[in-house]
């Protein structure tokens, strides 16, 4: 079955440490996205990529970095510069043909501070 796989499901970060969240899709989608979800805040866009080797900052990109070396993969690194990283992180993908296309979501990674 086609879908989006995020790993790990739970992740713990120590102070001053960078951590990388994995996102893989086999839907053959061009566009991929990372969102952050905080309680009562909805989802906010961190980064997105519409094509391999290209990506754009979303609304809350500070303290995060991404790469898009393969169509199937869009890993997110939470750097030590992100002072409040505890949140639920969701990866999504869609076709690139227009804003009317729905996004498909993974099951998320919950990141906590040790």
Partner 1 sequence: GNSVTQMEGPVTLSEEAFLTINCTYTATGYPSLFWYVQYPGEGLQLLLKATKADDKGSNKGFEATYRKETTSFHLEKGSVQVSDSAVYFCALSVHSGGGADGLTFGKGTHLIIQP
* Farthest-apart Cα atoms in the chain, separation: 41
65 touching partner 1, by CB under 8 A: no
Check if the beta carbon of residue 18 is closer than 8 Å to that of residue 47: no
11 touching partner 1, by CB under 8 A: no
Q: Exactly one of 2, 42, 83, 84 binds partner 1 (CB under 8 A); which one?
A: 42
The CA-atom distances, in angstroms, between 2 and each of 5, 62, 95, 99 are 10, 31, 14, 21
- CB closer to partner 1 out of 16 and 84: 84
Q: Binding to partner 1 (CB under 8 A): which residues in 69-98? A: 90, 92, 94-98
Q: Exactly one of 1, 53, 100, 114 binds partner 1 (CB under 8 A); which one?
A: 100
Q: Binding to partner 1 (CB under 8 A): which residues in 22-41? A: 30-31, 33, 35, 40-41
Size, binding site for partner 1 by CB under 8 A: 33
| Binding residues vs partner 1 (CB under 8 A) | 4, 6, 30-31, 33, 35, 40-45, 48, 50-51, 58, 90, 92, 94-108
């Amino acid at each position: 079955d086609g879908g989006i796989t995020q790993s790990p499901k739970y992740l713990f970060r120590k102070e001053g440490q960078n951590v990388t969240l994995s996102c893989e899709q086999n839907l053959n989608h061009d566009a991929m996205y990372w969102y952050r979800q905080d309680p009562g805040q909805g989802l906010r866009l961190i980064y997105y990529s519409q094509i391999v080797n290209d990506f754009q900052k979303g609304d809350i990109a500070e303290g995060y970095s991404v790469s898009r070396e393969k169509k199937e993969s869009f890993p997110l690194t939470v750097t030590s510069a992100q002072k409040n990283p505890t949140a639920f992180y969701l990866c999504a993908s869609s076709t690139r043909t227009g804003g009317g296309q729905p996004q498909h979501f993974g099951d998320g990674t919950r990141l906590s501070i040790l």
